[in-house]
Structure 1
């Protein structure tokens, strides 16, 4: 059924301004177009719910392809902001393609639930209009049809200009648990709305855009904080990160440590866990936590009670543990007695790490490792000096070149991932992701086995920032290149399917979106914060490891078009439309980077956690078994883990020379791990 309605005029008045006025983000009131007055295909005008504007709303027929089409007139070509007011009283997302003049401008735009049919919400996208008459169509892409549609509002394009970089921060009024952070003001064409305050890439505070100071509280005494500031405007555009400042809180006036905890003893032992209990400690101001340790390595922190189950232990392995108490000032008690035990025998399915040996030394932040198709050598990148090395199976390394146009961010940017074309034997192509002047890029170079030449940009415009740049590359069994991108410390980009940030991208070897991508662009999955691990299992499924913010790190099974939740969810949540991770960790135990698969087991390198996690996949299901940890605290920050072709072995690299590890240049290593 097709119903034709008379269309209102008014957008011409909005868009009759010169194109220059539109491009400068001139603030204009929106012009509204009622859905009941538009061209309706497979839908009806209804009035059986409340809260709509005009004389009614459009109730889409529950079929794929149902649509509402608006006709508008623009005096000049240029960008415009399109806002749809809708209601969705179900728990099912009802995505629609938004097309301009027959061409899809925004594919599969999400229209999630709005609690009930009387609750209305808006969805806004930017589009390009031509001079004269334009047709804007909202077409349902699933059998659920579209949401109830109230109206379309059009105005000049929303603000897309980010604020300038804030000035150098400084600290004052430094106390034991607080300090005042100040910075140089940022400027913006429409005004700075807020400043976000970060410590090593994690947001720890926020200040109004009208101020340039903020007091941070709840800090730990005698601790150095690495602080940066990012400006944000009302449209969500964010500035580059400010220069960094390191500020150290004062030592605590409380110098009395807690007493030693009482007798530590084991209650039960399995192959991967131990139950522990101990006697309470006392303190003049109160015990705040107990640390379960092996030497200086903390396995677990307990904030409530005097017992715990320590999980993630390696099977058939000896452990010697003690427990210490801490107070709010960070004073540490004498240790308890030690307990020694050996976990029970390993399950044989999938194998376990049986030995580790140093393969190669003298590295400075080795970031990406990728094997050549012949399995004889691998290419390894160094992040901050942009060098590329050929490494043989015995650890011999030879520099083969550098990647031009790479820059650092004084954080996590630089020369990142590397991948080798599956057809390298005939085309000699290798691929890199690196930070450049304007943002992050995916580029292609030619490698003849000894030298890198040529430089071709395949994809640019991926936003960069000091942290959250993603960077991993991997070829899938389908022959396409998969790229992980961070949200560049602008969380809302992760949910924007038209943004390249906070995504896993899928592309051809000549830089085009891969055929069959779910939204018709580069985006394969979205809702990611800072994904850095990519690996395919024996069934060709893609697994991904991702940095959390302050709560949970994630291991995800990636499916095309799926939304992995950030910033709405961190870890597991129950929000409709969000895909939950298959495993999570506290950020102190992981902060994952690279992953690899050996014999249906996922291995995940952990930076802050300083351990290698082993996560078995349960057969050919989509579930994983109990994660267990190896080498806890033994080798420092573990960055990349890569399967060795033709062997049950891994290469495992450190990045202790980065700005979190602070080791001297040349201190990083690559290890060989044997799986038996």
Structure 2
């Protein structure tokens, strides 16, 4: 499979709109290359230019302890993981917060703890990515409004105090996708025998899904710390923390090598897949990612805002920043059944400055 180069570097101010845009990392203005193997895949309708801009509707819930992930239920309420406590909460649109259960075996340390959640398509099982005392692992719990005892599906994922990855999402193919960080050891991202620094594609039992490019659980490799996953039609996208130079929004290709630690940002030559959008690390630190009607919404922790990125096939148009500095650090964004976006703040983590109501879940409308 060809790993054709694709890069979009952004950097001009959104004129007349009072909205900050991404500073360039290599060149002023965008550079768009061949869309590569993703060309021809079904995609959402193109976004209007410029797209409608998100506005804050209201605060749904307050006083949470580093909410990390959102998984919506059919009734419109969301299951919320708390990284530090190991609790799973049910939060409804009216703001009622109820504890569903505490996941046993969670050992919060640094960036680790209870991270991603994903509800099985059948609705009767809840998947969670967590840090234990010895490893990162994927577990499955029976779910009937409460959680049952966890069954370990994947264990032995490398553990460190940072770079856990941890996002879980079911793709349009019904398979479970898992982002895994490099556990602060970049060499693991290029090691085919390690799950660290990878995006995994699994069946419902945690095994390698049929059709994976290497015959293992690995879907793509060469990642530093990916924490966002979303789809635009059949196109898969991931958000990834850089180190010193460039945070990334990547279009994920099966078997693609995204370069870490050999390259950060764009410029990896024919061996690696370039990011579609890059940011200076001071402006982003991307975590949660959602796509709706051809627009990607990307949470910025250090950048303290929500990046709005109109997608164009396998490329993108110029990002703009919403809520710059208004809400603090943003960790997760998810599309609710009613079409609104829910955001979680992450101001009570080690890098935030919490307000009296933090952490919060916020409802945003476009």
| Corresponding residue number in structure 2 for 1:534 | 229
Q: Closer, same or farther in 2 for the Cα pair 1:301/1:624, shift >3 Å?
A: closer
Question: How far off is 1:664 after superposition?
Answer: 7.1
| Corresponding residue number in structure 1 for 2:44 | none
- Is structure 2 residue 126 aligned with structure 1 residue 430? yes
| Corresponding residue number in structure 2 for 1:371 | 72
| Corresponding residue number in structure 2 for 1:614 | 308
Q: Distance in 2 between matches of 1:423 and 1:347?
A: 34
Q: Distance in 2 between matches of 1:601 and 1:508?
A: 28
Q: Closer, same or farther in 2 for the Cα pair 1:272/1:554, shift >3 Å?
A: farther
Q: 1:518 aligns with which of 198, 204, 213?
A: 213
| Corresponding residue number in structure 2 for 1:141 | none
Q: 1:657 aligns with which of 329, 348, 358?
A: 348
Q: 1:627 aligns with which of 319, 322, 325?
A: 319
Q: Closer, same or farther in 2 for the Cα pair 1:386/1:412, shift >3 Å?
A: same
Q: 1:589 aligns with which of 283, 286, 304?
A: 283
- Is structure 2 residue 93 aligned with structure 1 residue 393? yes
| Corresponding residue number in structure 2 for 1:546 | 240
Q: Closer, same or farther in 2 for the Cα pair 1:269/1:506, shift >3 Å?
A: closer
Q: Distance in 2 between matches of 1:509 and 1:639?
A: 26
Superposition map of 1:244-283 within 5 A: 270-271=15-16
Question: How far off is 1:354 after superposition?
Answer: 3.5
TM-score by length of 1: 0.48
Q: Closer, same or farther in 2 for the Cα pair 1:579/1:273, shift >3 Å?
A: farther
**Greater CA drift, 631-640 or 391-400:** 391-400
Q: Closer, same or farther in 2 for the Cα pair 1:347/1:301, shift >3 Å?
A: closer
Superposition map of 1:85-96 within 5 A: none
Q: Closer, same or farther in 2 for the Cα pair 1:415/1:269, shift >3 Å?
A: closer
| Corresponding residue number in structure 2 for 1:668 | 359
Q: Distance in 1 between matches of 2:195 and 2:49?
A: 42
TM-score by length of 2: 0.87
Q: Which runs of 4+ in 1 moved over 4 A?
A: 271-274, 298-302, 346-350
CA contact (8 A) 1:551 1:587 kept: yes
CA contact (8 A) 1:364 1:665 kept: no
* Larger strand percent: 1
CA contact (8 A) 2:56 2:362 kept: no
Question: How far off is 1:378 after superposition?
Answer: 1.1
Superposition map of 1:254-333 within 5 A: 270-271=15-16
Superposition map of 1:398-437 within 5 A: 398-409=98-109, 411-424=110-123, 428-437=124-133
Question: How far off is 1:300 after superposition?
Answer: 9.0
The alignment's C-alpha RMSD in Å is: 2.5
- Is structure 2 residue 257 aligned with structure 1 residue 558? no
Q: Distance in 2 between matches of 1:664 and 1:550?
A: 29
Q: Deviations over 1:153-198 (max 9, x none)?
A: xxxxxxxxxxxxxxxxxxxxxxxxxxxxxxxxxxxxxxxxxxxxxx
Superposition map of 1:450-599 within 5 A: 451-537=146-232, 539-599=233-293
CA contact (8 A) 1:657 1:666 kept: no
Query: Which structure has more RCO (C-alpha within 8 Å, separation ≥ 6)?
Result: 2
| Corresponding residue number in structure 2 for 1:441 | 137
CA contact (8 A) 1:526 1:561 kept: yes
SS of residue matched to 1:661: coil
Question: How far off is 1:356 after superposition?
Answer: 3.4
Q: Closer, same or farther in 2 for the Cα pair 1:353/1:396, shift >3 Å?
A: same
Q: Deviations over 1:62-109 (max 9, x none)?
A: xxxxxxxxxxxxxxxxxxxxxxxxxxxxxx99xxxxxxxxxxxxxxxx
Q: Distance in 2 between matches of 1:477 and 1:363?
A: 31
SS of residue matched to 1:453: coil
Equivalences, count: 337
Q: Distance in 2 between matches of 1:636 and 1:522?
A: 36
Question: How far off is 1:301 after superposition?
Answer: 9.4
Look at both structures and tell me which one has the larger radius of gyration over its CA atoms: 1
| Corresponding residue number in structure 2 for 1:645 | 337
CA contact (8 A) 2:22 2:319 kept: no
SS of residue matched to 1:483: strand
